[in-house]
């Protein structure tokens, strides 16, 4: 593998600025690696070689002409396939959107284009972001670069695997219940869900609008900070967008990296998110990191958030309710495929039914049915109404504990990466992967996962940091501290040893 592929985005930015490398060289190296590894890993659903190289050449020319460029100009990025880029396929890993070309750019896309980051392609995911393993993709699962017999997490497994396998230094994900953080945890990458409203959702295909949030997928905390600074900020096109400036996250993270400590830091260990149900290797890694934080001077206290015990149940009522409403737009008339009934009259309703029957996968259908049921007149109060009350209780739990601590910490996911097929037939077992990530979505607070250890089995473990709403800067500071205090996880990924030539010959490390 070329040396530049292992560098962080900010290191690459420095090399580009210094003229040591060009964006065309870098983008070419990423594209070559994607081409070599993707047939095996399936992290990308679409690769835009021409478009990416054109952007790279343009940035190189502007740099050569002395133009002042964005810090990340020329650094390649991949987008999860639920974010629209004009003219580039966006499928949400669903058959229903096959062949659809978006007529507009998402706000994040506009910002990325303006800053001059070559978009190398769109990454695989669970269909419409529903799942924790990418096994619900209509186009086959993504394999975990740490062990190709294992899942890369979900729903954003494609972005996480692409970054972990050194195919691209930066990617974006979307997090409705953990789809950035849980893939981060099981692939040894950094993933952050900003405060709700901090990043525009305009042009993100909606799953559950009150929970969805776009965020960065990277190999370092500082890279995630830099990418968030790029994509964040107010957007009049998104009515839930916050009207406040993006904090100086990179600067804040760098100051902590230098110092190796945060003065007066108070850390709350959430009792409900770190005991029963968490694998011993995950808990051992978690406790070790907590001890390192203590040694670095942090004040560690145990806090209790009793309502978190009901978070998963509340999420699986609120999320499907919003899903059933958001996915009503896929009707065979406005987007994607159109299937006509094989017999009988071709009425609008029958076309919609036939299209949705053929276009949606089982998990999507399950959630639409569940959501329609909980919103129905007879059950609304009992299910949706109660879930909203639980949501309020969870928000109150957060508000109460954040009076005494700056951040909360927990393992990101209850286990390391599991094997393909282990949970696919048991929706409840699949849903439990998000037990630790869901509370942050229900409350709209920022949360992120930082790789903090490699288990005895050789699999990465993630450490979650949750901050109060608008406390993203504090979250990044603590994340940087965790990264500084932990061993380097990302370089231990077996993909670091894969080279493009042997991969092309089909010799990528086989299943363990």
Q: Which residues are catalytic?
A: 80, 155, 179
CA distance 154 to 178: 8
Q: Which two tokens stand for residue 499?
A: 């080279």
CA distance 153 to 144: 8
Site for ligand GLN in 297-336 (CB under 6 A): 319
**Torsion angles phi and psi, residue 370, rounded to 5:** -60, -45
Of 42, 94, 148, 176, the one binding ligand GLN (CB under 6 A) is: 176
Task: Supply the minimum distance, in Å, between the C-beta of residue 65 and ligand GLN.
Answer: 42
Q: Which two tokens stand for residue 164?
A: 């972990």
**175 is a site residue for ligand GLN (CB under 6 A):** yes
CB nearer to ligand GLN: give 136 or 474.
Answer: 136
**129 is a site residue for ligand GLN (CB under 6 A):** yes
Task: Supply the minimum distance, in Å, between the C-beta of residue 216 and ligand GLN.
Answer: 15
- Work out whether strand 119-123 and strand 170-174 pair parallel, antiparallel, or are unpaired: unpaired
Task: Supply the minimum distance, in Å, between the C-beta of residue 150 and ligand GLN.
Answer: 16
CB nearer to ligand GLN: give 289 or 433.
Answer: 433
Of 76, 178, 203, 216, the one binding ligand GLN (CB under 6 A) is: 178
**415 is a site residue for ligand GLN (CB under 6 A):** no
**59 is a site residue for ligand GLN (CB under 6 A):** no
CB nearer to ligand GLN: give 355 or 433.
Answer: 433
Q: How many residues bind ligand GLN (CB under 6 A)?
A: 14
CA-CA-CA-CA torsion for 402, 406, 411, 414, nearest 10 degrees? 10
Is residue 1 within 8 A of residue 496, CB to CB? The reply is: yes
Of 109, 148, 155, 241, the one binding ligand GLN (CB under 6 A) is: 155
**179 is a site residue for ligand GLN (CB under 6 A):** yes
CB nearer to ligand GLN: give 115 or 192.
Answer: 192
**207 is a site residue for ligand GLN (CB under 6 A):** yes
Give buried/exposed letters for 246-255 (b at 16+ CB in 10 A, else e).
bbebbebbbe
One character per residue 433-472, x = contact with ligand GLN (rule: CB under 6 A) = -x--------------------------------------
The conformation of residue 492, written as its DSSP 8-state character, comes to G
CA-CA-CA-CA torsion sign (314, 319, 322, 327): negative
Give buried/exposed letters for 86-110 (b at 16+ CB in 10 A, else e).
eebbbbbbbbbbeebebeebbbbbb
**Torsion angles phi and psi, residue 190, rounded to 5:** -90, 135
CB nearer to ligand GLN: give 175 or 477.
Answer: 175
Of 28, 55, 91, 132, the one binding ligand GLN (CB under 6 A) is: 132
Cβ contacts of residue 204 below 8 Å, gap of 6+?
A: 82, 83, 84, 106, 108, 174, 212, 214
CB nearer to ligand GLN: give 31 or 323.
Answer: 323
Residues that bind ligand GLN (CB under 6 A): 129-132, 154-155, 175-179, 207, 319, 434
């Amino acid at each position: 593998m070329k040396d530049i592929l292992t560098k962080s985005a900010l290191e690459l930015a420095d090399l580009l600025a210094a003229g040591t490398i060009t964006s065309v060289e870098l983008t070419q190296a990423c594209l070559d690696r994607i081409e070599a590894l993707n047939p095996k890993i399936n992290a990308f659903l679409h690769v835009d070689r021409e478009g990416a190289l054109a952007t790279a050449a343009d940035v190189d020319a502007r740099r050569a002409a002395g133009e002042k460029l964005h810090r990340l100009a020329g650094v390649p990025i991949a987008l999860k396939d639920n974010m629209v880029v004009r003219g580039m396929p966006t499928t949400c890993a669903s058959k229903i959107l096959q062949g659809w070309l978006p007529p507009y750019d998402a706000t994040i896309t506009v910002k990325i284009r303006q800053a001059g980051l070559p978009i190398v392609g769109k990454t695989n995911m669970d269909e419409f972001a529903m799942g924790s393993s990418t096994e619900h993709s209509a186009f086959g699962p993504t394999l975990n670069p740490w062990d190709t017999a294992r899942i890369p997490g979900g729903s954003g497994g494609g972005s996480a695997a692409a970054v972990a396998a050194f195919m691209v230094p930066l990617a974006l994900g979307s997090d409705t219940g953990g789809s950035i953080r849980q893939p981060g945890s099981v692939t040894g990458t950094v993933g952050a869900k900003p405060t709700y409203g901090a990043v525009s959702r305009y042009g993100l295909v909606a799953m559950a609008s009150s929970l969805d949030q776009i965020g960065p997928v990277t190999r370092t905390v500082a890279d995630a900070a830099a990418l968030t600074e790029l994509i964040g900020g107010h957007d009049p096109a998104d009515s839930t967008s916050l009207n406040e400036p993006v904090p100086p996250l990179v600067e804040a993270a760098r100051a902590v990296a230098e110092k190796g400590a945060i003065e007066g830091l108070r850390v709350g260990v959430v009792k409900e998110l770190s005991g029963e149900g968490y694998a011993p290797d995950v808990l051992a890694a978690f406790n070790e990191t907590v001890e390192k934080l203590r040694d670095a001077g942090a004040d560690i206290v145990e806090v209790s958030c009793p309502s978190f015990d009901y978070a998963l149940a509340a999420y699986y009522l609120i999320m499907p309710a919003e899903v059933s409403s958001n996915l009503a737009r896929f009707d065979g008339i406005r987007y994607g495929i159109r299937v006509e009934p094989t017999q009988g009259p071709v009425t609008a309703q029958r076309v919609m039914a036939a299209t949705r029957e053929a276009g949606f996968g089982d998990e999507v259908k399950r959630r639409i049915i569940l959501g329609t049921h909980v919103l129905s007149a007879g059950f609304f109060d009992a299910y949706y109404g109660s879930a909203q009350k639980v949501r309020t209780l969870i928000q109150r739990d957060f508000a109460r504990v954040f009076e005494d601590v700056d951040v909360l910490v927990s393992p990101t996911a209850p286990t390391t990466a599991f094997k393909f097929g282990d949970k696919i037939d048991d929706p409840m077992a699949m849903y439990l992967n998000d037990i630790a990530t869901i509370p942050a979505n229900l409350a709209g607070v920022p949360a992120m996962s930082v790789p903090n250890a490699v288990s005895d089995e050789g699999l990465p473990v993630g450490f979650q940091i949750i901050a109060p709403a608008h406390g993203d800067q504090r979250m990044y500071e603590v994340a940087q501290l965790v990264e500084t205090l932990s061993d380097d996880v990302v370089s231990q990924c077996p993909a670091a040893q894969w080279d493009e030539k042997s991969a092309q010959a089909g010799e990528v490390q086989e299943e363990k």
